[in-house]
Amino acid sequence: MSEEENITLLKETKKVIVPEFYRDLTQDREYPCLWHFVHRHIEGTRKPIQTEDNLPDKHLLDWKVLFPAHNGHIEIEVGSGKGGFLVEYAKRHPDYFIMGSEWDLTWAHYAADREIRNNVCENSAMLRGDVFYFLRDRVKNNTVDAFHMYFPDPWPKEKHHKNRLLREDFLVEVARVLKPGKRIFYWGTDHKEYNEIALEVFDHFKDAKILERDTALPTEGIMTNFEKKYRQEGRPIYRSIIEFEK
């Protein structure tokens, strides 16, 4: 069966059943620091999540595959966009390994290009794919030191709220992969209502404690691309720092 016929069949069954080849983690030939997770996806969905038995297809990753020079300190940025924060942070912390993530191919390329130009591919990489499923299906327990999530898509219409990434099931994965001890989640948005909902989710999450509520400054003074634009426009920015205890 051709790939097109296969996809049509998948659409007709209305189940998102994804063959193994949609779930690879492969290094991009042109951008060595770019890793594709779900490198081809079925049109109309970004959530290819099941194998034929309806279970997640879990192949746990050894971070050394992405970062061969890995020294054990791993941070993840959720939704990196153009990669401005990722690259500046990686430059300041050559001893950290920071993985950006982006499900949009254009932005993933843009950010990976920026990493290459700034010589930070030794200690940073871009994941192109849905970071939620990457965490859920690939990342081992207790292997990540911190998360950064800045200006996530707000999905302002009520019927789209379900697409927001800062949800309890996302935090379950965050808490699972964070190393034991006190670990940090940096959060920032310009969207008042999403911010309120997000802080409620943190407040109700058992292992999370908000250390700075709405008053945090840009992490180490590094503004993201969206943040620079929004601050120029004079929009209010809500930044918080959350600690996870295990």
Ligand X SMILES: C[S@@+](CC[C@H](N)C(=O)[O-])C[C@H]1O[C@@H](n2cnc3c(N)ncnc32)[C@H](O)[C@@H]1O
Catalytic residues: 153
**For residues 98-157, which are near ligand X according to CB under 6 A?**
101-104, 107, 130-132, 150-153
Our finding on whether 165 is near ligand X (CB under 6 A) is: yes
Name the minimum Å distance from CB 12 to ligand X. Answer: 26
Between CA 92 and CA 149 the distance in angstroms is: 18
Between CA 36 and CA 239 the distance in angstroms is: 30
Per the listing, tokens 């492969």 go with 26
Name the minimum Å distance from CB 16 to ligand X. Answer: 15
Q: Which is nearer to ligand X, 192 or 209 (CB)?
A: 192
Between CA 26 and CA 13 the distance in angstroms is: 28
Q: Which is nearer to ligand X, 165 or 210 (CB)?
A: 165
**For residues 26-65, which are near ligand X according to CB under 6 A?**
none
Draw the binding track, 186-225, toward ligand X (x: CB under 6 A; -: no contact): --------------------------------------xx
Alpha-carbon distance values, 79 to 53, 84, 147, 164 (Å): 30, 11, 11, 12
Count, residues near ligand X per rule CB under 6 A: 20
CA 180 from centre of chain? 20
Q: Are 112 and 126 in contact (CB under 8 A)?
A: yes
